[in-house]
Chains A and B, each alone.
Chain A
Amino acid sequence: MTDTAAQPTRLLDLANPTRFLSLAGTLLPWLAGLSALVLAAGLYMSVNAPDDYQQGMTVKIMFIHVPFAWLSMMCYTLMAASSVGTLVWRHPLADVSAKAAAPIGAAFTALALITGSLWGKPMWGTWWVWDARLTSVFVLFLMYLGIIALSRALDDPAKSARAAAVLTLVGFINIPIIKFSVDWWNTLHQPASVLRAGGSAIDPTLLRPLLVMALGFTLLFFTLHMMAMRNEIWRRRVIAMRRMAARRADEKGEEA
């Protein structure tokens, strides 16, 4: 490892993604199989779970809605951590991780919103309420889209990674403020009458399938994330190799 220390940046840059690729190659089938297994078990448990005495069978939407909402926040946290890695250590995998996570996080956030809306219609009688939680998740969704738009708008991958990292971190700092302000705004506009019917503790018969489903979706998220990261690394290699091919063709043309 002495020669790596001699020229640290270049070799580490290239060695790490390669090691990651081989790790992902061995890990991915297991991770995918495990998440499929856990999700199947969770699905079986949630089908067999008893109906809630208040909400009837719509409580089954909770088993997917809550994991989605949870993952949408976890994904943003992961992206913020990756952004710190990009900006502070300039770790090459960190920006791949952040870029790969953004579309998946946006998809999970959209699913949380859609399933929440589908749950709200039979329960509250409306597709959408400007409830504090819904509104903050909606803002989170907008921020995901902004990050994706920014990272797609810049050509240079290193520059776009750093720009997206700055935006992710500013958004991460802002999330508590947004949450607090939306709570304030909500209590100002709506007296607490619309919702919060069953705020009591969840029954263990419902909690167990929920936890299994949450675990399954978390595994699914990491599977997808790893796949997306691998794709992104490959995409960068393809771009680098195309550039080499163009250069070589250019040199040949000059020789001839």
Chain B
Amino acid sequence: MNHLAFVLSSYGVSLVVLLGLVAWLLIDQRAQRTELQRLEAQGIRRRSQKAQKP
């Protein structure tokens, strides 16, 4: 039946958009994390970390 196509496509679109959102968040997360680790490896500390362990 033709209605099935509409149902499937609406579920499909939702799945694609939500997966895209999750993928974007995960990629962003990895990028920020590696950048953070790279900077920390260079020995750069934020002010707060200095305050905590001088």
Contact = CB atoms under 8 A, between A and B. Distances in A.
Nearest to B35: A238
Nearest to A39: B18
Contacts of A110: 17
Contact of B1 (A57, A65, A114): A57
Given A14-B48, A107-B17, A58 B7 contact: yes
Interface stretch (A86-94, A160-168, A192-200, A242-250): A242-250
B25 A227 contact: yes
A164 to B, nearest CB: 19
Contacts of A18: 48
Nearest to B48: A14
A237 B46 contact: yes
Contacts of A60: 7
A220 interface: yes
B39 A241 contact: yes
Interface stretch (A117-125, A131-139, A145-153): A117-125
Interface size class of chain A, counting residues whose CB lies under 8 Å from the partner chain: 35 or more
Interface size class of chain B, counting residues whose CB lies under 8 Å from the partner chain: 20 to 34
Contact of B7 (A61, A103, A230, A241): A61
A245 B44 contact: yes
B3 to A, nearest CB: 5
11 contacts: A18-B48, A57-B1, A68-B14, A104-B21, A114-B14, A115-B13, A122-B2, A122-B3, A227-B29, A228-B25, A241-B40
Contacts of B39: 238, 241-242, 245
B25 A238 contact: no
A237 B17 CA distance: 29
Contacts of A242: 39
A58 B6 contact: yes
B32 A245 contact: no
Contact of B6 (A104, A122, A244, A248): A122
Given A56-B3, A57-B3, A224-B22, A238 B9 contact: no
A212 B48 CA distance: 43
A31 B9 CA distance: 28
Given A111-B17, A118-B9, A245 B42 contact: yes
